[in-house]
Amino acid sequence: MYTIDNDLLSVQEARILIENAREAQKILATFPQKKLDRIVEHMAEEAYKYAEELAIMSCEETGFGKWQDKFVKNVFASNFLYKKIRDMKVVGFISEDKENKTIDIGVPVGVIVALPPATNPASTTIYKTLIAIKSGNAIIFSPHPKAKNTIGKVLDVLIQVAEESGLPSGAIGYLKTLATNGTVALMNHKDTSLIMVTGVPKLVKEAYRSGKLTIHGGPGNGPAFIERSADIKKAVADIIASRTFDNGIVSASEQSIVAEDCIADEVRKELKRNGAYFMSEQESEQLGKLFFSPDDSLNWEIVGKSAIELAKRIGIIVPEDTRVLISEQKYVSPTNPYSREKLCPVLAFFVEKDWMNACEKCLELLINEGRGHTLVIHSNNEQVIREFALKKPVSRVLVNTPATLGGIGATTNLFPALTLACGTAGGGFTSDNVSPMNLVNIRKVGYGVRQLDDITNVVQAGEEAMINQSPIDSTQDLKAILEKLLAHLK
């Protein structure tokens, strides 16, 4: 009897995929922007047609979230995103400054390896494919094992329509024999140029170990601060809508509420009116034990489950209209499960005496987990908003908006993205909502506008003037010399 070595098969398949992508990308790199745009348009249209089917399929395969909300995300990743990138110039001549005689040219990075998550498998795969082809890159996926059928279906649909529209065969591909060694082989291949990891924390270290340029969206642990000047009804409605969207599995979603003491009671009442159930200390302790496995990894059994389902798991009866479970907390620590990212509709609730103490509490939460990701503030005090924006180690500060939708650019004018990079604070190199512009190198063209003699003559003249006037007679003399130098340098 021969046994099939999945690891070996996966590694071999990975090598073939990257080699085919490399050859396809050489052709793709010659395509003008208009030709790339036609392919992207056809892919976006086809993905939009399948948005509902893929949403249902995703929920059935993973058991995470709500298909209705995944449908919204699939539309966002296809139709909404396409409209945003449709007129973007990404490759070739993308900008020119005629006055200063400089030109920017966008050059594709090459072959991209992408790891999409099980929580948003269809939408993230659509998004990554569209921005990769828009920027003239080949892209190879390693599907998440928990969502391999959904991701495979998305890519089969996109590959067929893209190749019918002129995309070189092999420019989009995915690993069918799934094994960690195969994914690592994709990342380590000499022809891989860039790695994009979203929602697969166990493989982030492997990506960085490969030595390849890596863009990753880290864990979110965003606090929502409600300041005394806020519209409390709107703030609470936004937070509840955001935290329950797809049962809380979007990384940008609020993980805790920090309220000023003077409005805390009003916030509690409003939360209850919006379907929040405040757990007792004992209930909070019981639920907290379910968030993480013994090895400190996320417990997939509670991911994307509704508040009602979570309550049943710990044997408590809550009102039928319960949408969110809330635990009152005082302290932040690595061992407190309510101080970390929870991919389900659960919120921690902190009360601080004023905005300065609230600022410190938010900082504690972000340093504990979620550094570099997202913070939301509900306030009408512009000074407080700016203080928060200046002092928090995050890449996104969202103001008076639901964090889930604001972070990805649906209710804000941030770039519509499903990979939210975390910058140097989160261990990455970019803090952007990742766009096609993050997937190209910018080649700079600069025309000569002055001669070396122009510079040396003025500098020498300035030195002589300074020597002859030792010291310079007046500030007017110095100003005249500097103006002369600057005039020659224009």
Q: What pLDDT does residue 429 have?
A: 85
CB 433 within 8 A of CB 409: yes
Residue 278 C-alpha from the chain's centroid? 31
* pLDDT for the residue 5: 79
What is the pLDDT at residue 1? Answer: 43
Query: How high is the pLDDT of residue 452?
Result: 79
pLDDT given at position 4:
63
pLDDT at 391: 85
Among 96-100, 159-163, 196-200, the minimum mean pLDDT is found in 196-200
pLDDT tens-digit series, residues 328-368: 999 999 999 999 999 999 999 999 999 999 999 999 999 99
Pick the CATH number of 223-411 from 3.40.309.10, 3.30.479.30, 1.10.357.10, 3.80.30.20: 3.40.309.10
**Mean pLDDT within 250-262:** 96
Cα(223)–Cα(1) distance, integer angstroms: 56
Domain ranges of the chain: 6-218+435-443, 223-411, 452-489
What does the pLDDT read at residue 298? Answer: 86
**Beta-bridge partners for 197:** 115, 216
Decide if pLDDT at 29 tops 70. Answer: yes
Q: Which region among 124-138, 284-298, 369-383, 465-479 has the lowest average model confidence (pLDDT)?
A: 465-479
Q: Which band of pLDDT confidence, cut at 50, 70 and 90, is reported for residue 323?
A: very high
Average pLDDT, the chain: 92
> If pLDDT is split at 50, 70 and 90, which confidence band does 297 have?
confident
Average pLDDT over residues 166-193: 97
Indicate whether 416 pLDDT > 80: yes
pLDDT at 102 over 60: yes
What is the pLDDT, as a whole number, of residue 139?
98
> Is the model's pLDDT at 473 over the cut of 60?
no
Share of the chain above pLDDT 90, in %: 83
- pLDDT class of 471 with cuts at 50, 70, 90: low
- Distance CA(141)–CA(157), nearest Å, equals 14
Q: How much is the CA Rg of the chain, to the nearest whole Å?
A: 26
Q: What is the pLDDT of residue 469?
A: 56
CATH number, domain 6-218+435-443, options 3.30.56.10, 1.10.10.10, 3.10.129.10, 3.40.605.10: 3.40.605.10
- What is the per-residue pLDDT for 488? 56
Residue range 149-171: mean pLDDT, rounded: 98
Q: What is the pLDDT of residue 201?
A: 82
Q: What was the pLDDT predicted at 202?
A: 84
What is the average pLDDT across 165-191?
A: 97
Please say if the pLDDT value at position 82 is more than 60. Answer: yes
Whole-model pTM: value is 0.91
